[in-house]
A and B are shown apart, each in its own frame.
Chain A
Amino acid sequence: MRKLLLLVLFVSVTMVTYAGGYRVSVQGQRAMAMGHTGVAVVNSAELVFFNPAGLVYLENKLNVSVGASGIFTDVIYQNENLGISSETDNSVGTPLNLYASYQLTDWMSIGLGVYTPYGSEVTWPTDWAGSQLVNNIDLAAIYIQPVVSFKLSDHFSIGGGPIYVTGSVNFNRNASRTTTDIDGVRSNITVDDSGVTNWGWSVGAMFNPTENFHLGFSYRSEIIIESEDGEATFANFPNSPAAPANGTTSFRAELPLPAELTVGLSYEYKKWLFAFDYNRQFWDVYESLDITFGNGQTSINPRNYKNSSVYRFGLQYDATEKITLRAGYYRDESPVQPGFFAPETPRNDSDGFSGGLSFAISSKLAIDASFFYLRFEEVDESYDFGDGGPFGGTYKSSAFAPGLGLTYKM
């Protein structure tokens, strides 16, 4: 058993998860450990996120899963022609998730989830070579979702519920490649807003051809975050009618949180469970990040994202009565198209490797641990629409996230 644990750790550490754009796929410790599969896995209250239809098949009346991960990301940049290089400040994101479900009747369960599927935190050195595109960005969206799940038969169930989103953004970048005040200090703009809310929804369905075989489907709607009450700060602009005034003003901007469709299956064989999920993320809604400032300035930033797919594979093994081991892999396609590679979300295609385990402290309480490593190939890319011509070079990213959680059932 020790050997096996070692092996799982080793495999997971040497190989590499996350998702394209600003999607952050860490919505459950158990699922995370299995390559973030779960649309057809009947396992815990994590189903509130992965497929609310499955909640009604959980064995226990009350199921609670809580967890948190620490995401360590790092991006490096260099341009061989110009002899320049930069590295992001190693930021640590801490997405949390909390899920609970309660079986009201034999045919109906209700649940509640709090999770953070979208976010981005990137901090480049201030005034770095790409500072006209981004100095730093901190984007977060918290989803709060009540769900209900109906068993139509032992073979088929449906579920879903409304989603309440509250988002925040803080984004700073320089006004251009060269604009400065009289002392050469770079002119820059910060936009800041929080408590931006909106509504969405998700639905799911689960089909169980046999007791060991599940097929799942889920769809989460697109939600557009519309920021209207935020504050934009213009700093270090030269004192001239040709430049915007320094100080604060309002701004308006929209950021889409794209819809996501998932289909998948799981199959149990003795102590083993295999899961496969296919995600389709509808990023094409993210055409442009347009910011209109209260002082009349505008900032148009084409994004032109494309829809993207993620292929996820997960494996679970009940090693002992108390220990369950998990491992997973996924291939994550980036929604970013060539020529639109902005260093605020510097993601290209990646391979995710994950692992983890659950340790049952008692029949009711288990500790869940997970980690993942996202491996990115280095990529030569550019963003061709900014001030002063294209900005490009070679990028390489990595992300690593250990996480811990608790599962309680009664």
Chain B
Amino acid sequence: MIKNNIKYLVILALGLVACEPEFDNPIEESGNFTSGDADFSAYVALGNSLTAGFADGALYVTGQENSFPNILSKQFAIAGGGEFTQPLMSDNVGGFVEDAVNFPPRLVLAFDADGNPGPARFTGESPSTSISANLGSSFNNMGVPGARVYHLDFAGYATLNPYYGRFAQSPTATVVDEAVAQSPTFFSLWIGNNDILGYATSGGVGQDHNETGNVDPSTYSPAGLDITNNNVFAAAYSGLVAKLAANNTEGVLLNLPDVTSLPFFTTVPNNALVLDATQAASLTGFFQAVAGIVTAQVAGTGVPLEQAQALASQYAIAFNPGPNRFLLKTDVTATNPLGFRQMTEEELLLLTIDSAALAQGYGSVVLTPEVLQILGILQMGGTPTPEQGAMVIAAIDAIEDKDVLDSSELDAIGAARTAYNSTIASLASANGLAFYNVSRDLSQAANGGIPFDGGVITSDFVTGGGFSLDGVHPTPRAHALVTNGILDAIELTYGAKLPRVNPADFGTITVSNEVN
């Protein structure tokens, strides 16, 4: 009887096992996902802050965890991908202990007493990452914030940039050599953004070396304010690809998005000088007065009156009720003796411009009681003294070059980007590498947005979901989009089949009022 019972128990136990649910086509098994002709077992990512996962003006752990190479590596893992290591910072504060000025903590979205949101530096904890501590090994993610194309094969870069110094194996190591030393089977390279960006985010105060013809990057602005010469870019980039793609290592190249569509440049409108009818009339009157003063001054130097009037007429700027474009400081020339003009439609203001100053007259006129008094004299038909004329002209407060990308700067940026991207595309094609036109997707984000299951990703600052609080670097959600774009490119080139990520599962910006 006991024997028989055991038999039943065995059957019962088998029944229990058979109860475990199982899919007809489990994703872990079978050939649902494949690497195609590619081999993801050792993936190394090279690039700058975008590859490193820099966001909100700092490098911190969750940003790194949401870097597109890290997300990509998890998708690769389903089709033979190996472990993916990153030089993680010590915390989610960002910045370095020793240098809070150059490497401050991350930005968070804080609310002021009136409930208005704005980016502010997180102060809830102190940075704990040491600027000098070396992590002691190379990593799969070799992204170095701040790196330009010629930095990746520059022996000595580790001593210039602590983000590389943190994990460089020697002071004379180079990023690309350390990447190759890991014997990668697959690489991603997204470099060149900073070769334009530093120029753009500083308002074009640096030099355009396509204009200067300077092809020696060691003489370029140490602060990274210059545009890299196109030939320098092409030579450095092809050198990197030659090293990385040696032995037919597969990889993906990413081109460079239009930096001027970043929220850093599109958030503050250039026509935010909003006036009512009285203010517009008053400002128009002011500049008629300026034109009059200039006419008098120029005519006083012996120039015929008509010629003086023609020259001065550029300052008789008419303002209308509603939005008006700001004034921009220019070089003082014979044809523009006061050195300012009104901005044109396509010119861009930087996110870092002092918006409080704008509200006080920066970009137009700072009207003091004294200036108003002189204007009164003018309106009564009186003639101001030269001192009074000078005081009126001094009240003009046009926007500084550092706060704006003017049309010539935009042209320089656009020309360099076009040349760089043509280099990247042709090198991808020449080496049989996958190529992701991320520029196209960013342009879509900036012009209407990219829809996903849970909404739309746009380039709008704070609310768009695509850009972190520094207005330049992507959010985790945008990194997810980039990941999907790379996966598309890899499937196209290598015949791989890989799962996508859902951008809705990735966050955007972080709110916190721990900002002092």
Q: How far apart sit A81 and B14, CA to CA, in the bound complex (Å)?
A: 33
Bound state CA distance, A238 and B515, in angstroms?
Answer: 12
**Chain B residues in 8 Å Cβ range of A390:** 453
Inter-chain contacts of B14 with A (CB < 8 A): 13
Instruction: Report whether A400 and B27 are in contact in the complex, using a CB–CB cutoff of 8 Å.
Output: no
Chain B residues with CB under 8 Å of A184's CB are 61-62, 65, 92
Residues 115-140 of chain B: 1 if any A CB is under 8 Å from the residue's CB, otherwise 0?
Answer: 10100001011000000000000000
Give chain A interface residues in 312-346, CB to chain B under 8 Å. Answer: none
Whether B504 pairs with A85 at a CB distance below 8 angstroms is: no
Which single member of A12, A81, A177, A178 contacts B499 (CB below 8 Å)? A81
Contacts of A177 in B (CB 8 A): 454, 504-505
A178 touches B508 (CB 8 A): yes
- Indicate whether A83 sits within 8 Å of B33 (C-beta atoms), given known contacts A72-B16, A378-B24: yes
Q: Verify B513–A240 contact, CB threshold 8 A.
A: yes
CB contact list, B1-51 vs A, under 8 A: 4, 7-8, 11-12, 14-16, 18-28, 32-33
Interface residues on chain B, number (Cβ under 8 Å): 57
B379 within 8 A of A: no
The reply to whether B78 and A396 contact each other, CB–CB distance below 8 Å, is no
A288 sits at the interface (CB 8 A): no
Q: Chain B contacts of A373 at CB under 8 A?
A: 15, 19
Query: A170 at the A/B interface (Cβ < 8 Å)?
Result: no
Cross-chain contact B453 with A400 (CB below 8 angstroms): no
Q: Tell me if A400 and B511 are in contact (CB < 8 A).
A: no
Contact yes or no, A378 B23, CB < 8 A: yes
Q: Name A10's closest neighbour in chain B (CB-CB).
A: B11
Contact partner of A78 (CB less than 8 A), chosen from B27, B61, B115, B498, is B27
Whether B52 sits at the interface, judged by CB under 8 Å, is: no
Query: Interface code B65-94, partner A: CB below 8 Å = 1, 0 otherwise?
Result: 100000000010010000000000000100
A residues 372-400 in Cβ contact with B at 8 Å: 373, 376, 378, 387-390, 394, 396-400
Contact call B26/A242, Cβ cutoff below 8 A: no
Listed residue (B8, B65, B476) with the most chain A CB atoms within 10 angstroms of its CB: B8
Cα–Cα, bound, A168→B476 (Å) = 39
Residues of B within 8 A of A243 (CB): 511
Q: Judging by beta carbons under 8 Å apart, are A178 and B506 in contact?
A: yes
Question: Could you tell me which residues of chain B, from 345 to 375, have a CB within 8 Å of some CB in chain A?
Answer: none
**Shortest Cβ distance from B505 into A: residue:** A177
CB-CB nearest in chain A for B63: A184
Q: Which residue, A81, A82, A83, A389, has most C-beta atoms of chain B within 10 A?
A: A83
Which residues from chain B contact A5 at a C-beta distance below 8 Å?
A: 8
Instruction: Check B62 against A83 for contact (C-beta < 8 Å).
Output: no
B507 beta carbon closer than 8 Å to chain A: yes
* Most chain B CB inside 10 Å of its own CB: which residue of A74, A76, A239, A378: A239
In the complex, whether A2 has a CB less than 8 A from a CB of chain B is yes
CB distance from A72 to the nearest CB of B (A): 7
Q: How far is the CA of A78 from the CA of B29 in the complex (A)?
A: 12
Cβ-defined contact, B115 with A83, below 8 A = no
B71 to chain A, nearest CB (A): 12
Residues of B within 8 A of A388 (CB): 453-455, 504-505
Q: Does A75 contact B (CB under 8 A)?
A: yes
B500 within 8 A of A: yes
From A6, A241, A397, A400, B15 is in contact (CB under 8 Å) with A400
* CA gap between A238 and B14 in the complex, in Å: 49
The answer to the question of B210 belonging to the interface, with a C-beta cut-off of 8 Å to chain A, is no
Residue of B nearest to A78 (CB): B27
Most buried by B among A179, A371, A396: A396
- In the complex, the answer to whether A238 meets B11 with C-beta atoms within 8 Å is no
Contact A76 B22, beta carbon cutoff 8 Å: yes
Within 8 A of B (CB), among A7-47: 9-10, 12-14
Distance A76 CA – B27 CA, assembled complex (angstroms):
12
| Residue from the list B21, B125, B454 in contact with A387, Cβ < 8 A | B454
The reply to whether A129 and B505 form a contact with Cβ atoms under 8 Å apart is yes
Residues of chain A contacted by B8 (CB below 8 angstroms): 5-6, 9
CA distance A14 to B453 in the complex (A): 40
Q: In the docked arrangement, what's the CA distance between A242 and B508, Å?
A: 14
Q: At the interface, yes or no: A211 with Cβ under 8 Å from chain B?
A: no
Task: Report A-chain residues with C-beta under 8 Å of the C-beta of B510.
Answer: 180, 182, 238
Given the interface pairs A78-B26, A378-B24, A388-B453, the reply to whether A398 lies near B62 with Cβ below 8 Å is no
Q: How far is the CA of A182 from the CA of B510 in the complex (A)?
A: 7
Q: Write the nearest CB–CB distance from B189 to chain A, whole angstroms.
A: 25
Give Cα A82–Cα B484 distance, bound, in whole angstroms: 11
| A80 touches B (CB below 8 Å) | yes
A264 interface residue per 8 A CB criterion = no
- Beta-carbon contact of B18 and A241 below 8 Å: no
- Complex CA distance for A402 and B8, rounded to whole angstroms: 13
- Once A13-B11, A241-B115, A400-B16 are accepted as A-B contacts, the answer to whether A81 and B455 lie under 8 Å apart by CB is no
Question: Counting CB contacts under 8 A, is B108 at the interface?
Answer: yes
Q: Is the CB of A6 within 8 A of B11?
A: yes
- B residues near A129, Cβ cutoff 8 Å: 505
**A388 vs B476: C-alpha distance in the bound complex, in angstroms?**
14
B501 within 8 Å of A by Cβ?
A: yes
User: Is the CB–CB distance between A241 and B27 below 8 Å?
Assistant: no
A349 CA to B20 CA in the complex, in Å? 17
Contact with B along A75-99 (1 / 0, CB 8 A): 1101111111100000000000000
Roughly how many angstroms separate A296 CA and B18 CA in the complex, as a whole number? 48
Given A74-B21, A81-B500, A13 and B62 contact (CB-CB distance below 8 Å): no
Set of chain A residues within 8 Å of B92, measured between Cβ atoms: 182-184
Confirm or deny: B494 has a beta carbon within 8 angstroms of a beta carbon on chain A.
no
Q: Report the nearest A residue to B62, measured CB to CB.
A: A184
A241–B111 CB distance below 8 A:
yes
Identity of the chain B residue whose Cβ is nearest the Cβ of A180 in the assembled complex: B507
Q: Is the CB of B513 within 8 A of A389?
A: no
A135-193 interface (Cβ within 8 A of B): 177-180, 182-184
Q: Which residue of A lies closest to B108 (CB)?
A: A182
Per-residue interface assignment for chain B, residues 477 to 509, with 1 indicating a CB less than 8 Å from any chain A CB and 0 otherwise: 100000000000000000000111110111110
Say yes or no: B28 contacts A85, CB within 8 Å. Answer: yes
Residues from chain A with a CB closer than 8 A to the CB of B231 are: none
Cα A79 to Cα B500 in complex, Å, equals 10
Chain A residues positioned under 8 Å from B505 (CB to CB): 129, 177-178, 388
Other-chain contact of A238, B26, B499, B511 (Cβ < 8 Å): B511
- The reply on B512 being an interface residue by CB < 8 A is yes
Pairwise interchain contact A9-B504, C-beta atoms closer than 8 A: no
Chain B residues near A6 (CB-CB < 8 A)? 7-8, 11
Question: Within the complex, what minimum Cβ distance (angstroms) separates B478 from chain A?
Answer: 13
- Chain A contacts for B62, CB-based, 8 A: 180, 183-184
* Known interface pairs A83-B27, A177-B505, A389-B455; A182-B21 also in contact (CB < 8 Å): no
In the complex, what residue of chain A is closest to B124 when comparing beta carbons?
A182
Shortest beta-carbon distance from B2 to chain A in Å? 13
Give the distance in Å from the alpha carbon of A398 to the alpha carbon of B21 in the complex: 6
The distance in angstroms between the C-alpha atoms of A61 and B11, with both chains bound, is 39
Q: Does B514 contact A (CB under 8 A)?
A: yes
CB-defined contacts of B27 to chain A, threshold 8 Å: 78-80, 83-85
Most chain A C-beta atoms within 10 Å of own C-beta, residue among B12, B117, B506: B12
Tell me the smallest distance from the CB of A351 to a CB of chain B, in Å.
13
Q: Which residues from A are CB-within-8-Å of B508?
A: 178
Q: Shortest beta-carbon distance, B324 to chain A, in Å?
A: 34
Nearest Cβ distance between residue A373 and chain B, in whole angstroms? Answer: 6
What is the CB-to-nearest-CB distance from A335 to chain B, in angstroms, rounded to a whole number?
A: 21
Query: Which listed residue (A2, A74, A241, A394) contacts B23, Cβ 8 A?
Result: A394
Residues of chain A contacted by B512 (CB below 8 angstroms)? 182, 238-240
Given A85-B28, A178-B505, A371-B15, 4 extra CB contacts under 8 A: A74-B19, A240-B513, A242-B117, A397-B21
28 A-B pairs in the complex with CB atoms less than 8 angstroms apart: A5-B8, A13-B12, A14-B18, A74-B21, A75-B21, A78-B23, A79-B27, A80-B27, A80-B32, A83-B499, A178-B476, A178-B505, A178-B508, A179-B507, A180-B507, A183-B62, A183-B92, A238-B512, A240-B513, A241-B115, A242-B111, A242-B511, A373-B15, A378-B24, A388-B455, A396-B22, A398-B20, A402-B12
Q: Which 7 A-B pairs have the closest CB atoms?
A: A83-B499, A13-B15, A389-B454, A389-B453, A388-B454, A388-B504, A178-B507
